[in-house]
Amino acid sequence: MSQATRSIPNLSRLNRPLIWSGFQQLIPVSLFVSIFGAAFGLAAAQAGVGHLTATAMSLLVFAGYAQFAALDLWGTQIPLFTLMATVFAINARHLLMGATLYPWLQALSPAKRYGIMMVASDANWAMSIQAFNRGKPGLGLLFGGGLALWLFWVIGTVAGLYFGSAVQDPKSYGLDMVMGCFLLSMVFEGERNLRMVPIWIVAAASSLMAYQWLPENSHVIVGALAGGIAGVLMRKKK
């Protein structure tokens, strides 16, 4: 058994101090998430969605873009198949998240494994992967950070349902750039060498082409898959 394989169970440890630390580290990003939660609450109220239904959606779904997309399909007769297909397309990137995290998640019981992934999102996934790449436990960031994001999203939703008129358009304040800038900072803090440049070029080019010519939100999956394949091929050439 290799040294890398023996180290995986150690990196997979999950306890209260690690969870609390992850929760605290994601609070700054969660504050901005709550603003978008408020925007969703307001949009839900304007779309005629009941307060209980909108709150339950944020509690159980916890997928911002998918929830906004669901509002566009909301009406007296909801097209269930279209709604399911839309939500799946938007959240399909979670399949890739789970695949990248599996080497560490496999050490946990199925209940813990799926429980953690219930609160997985872009921000806490990126930070946990960064921690693993540095040889540090990342599941506390994944779960604790996810709990913070989820809690603030729900709080924001409830606030938006009752007081959302104060933040009708977060984009007008430039708040829609916060998550993008956060994820970009994760990229620059990762591995930096010339071998990474072609991988990012392939991923970016594939994503841009998919954004232009393929169905909405498919560019996320296409870019991730193209970049992953490029990375595997370059690793084989070492």
Query: Would residue 56 count as lying in a domain?
Result: yes
- Phi-psi sector, 50: left (phi>0), alpha (psi -120 to 50), beta: beta
Q: Of the candidates 35, 31, 27, 28, which has an alpha carbon nearest to the alpha carbon of residue 170?
A: 35
- Distance, CA of 149 to CA of 27 (rounded, Å): 7
At 207-232, the pLDDT tens digits run 888 888 877 656 766 776 777 677 66
97/136 same-domain check? yes
49/127 same-domain check? yes
Cα R_g (the chain), whole angstroms: 19
- Distance, CA of 226 to CA of 205 (rounded, Å): 9
68/87 same-domain check? yes
At 44-75, the pLDDT tens digits run 888 888 899 999 999 998 888 788 878 877 76
> Which residue range forms the structural domain that includes residue 218?
192-238
106/47 same-domain check? yes
134/218 same-domain check? no
57/78 same-domain check? yes
Structurally, the chain folds into a number of domains equal to 2
Q: The pTM is what?
A: 0.72
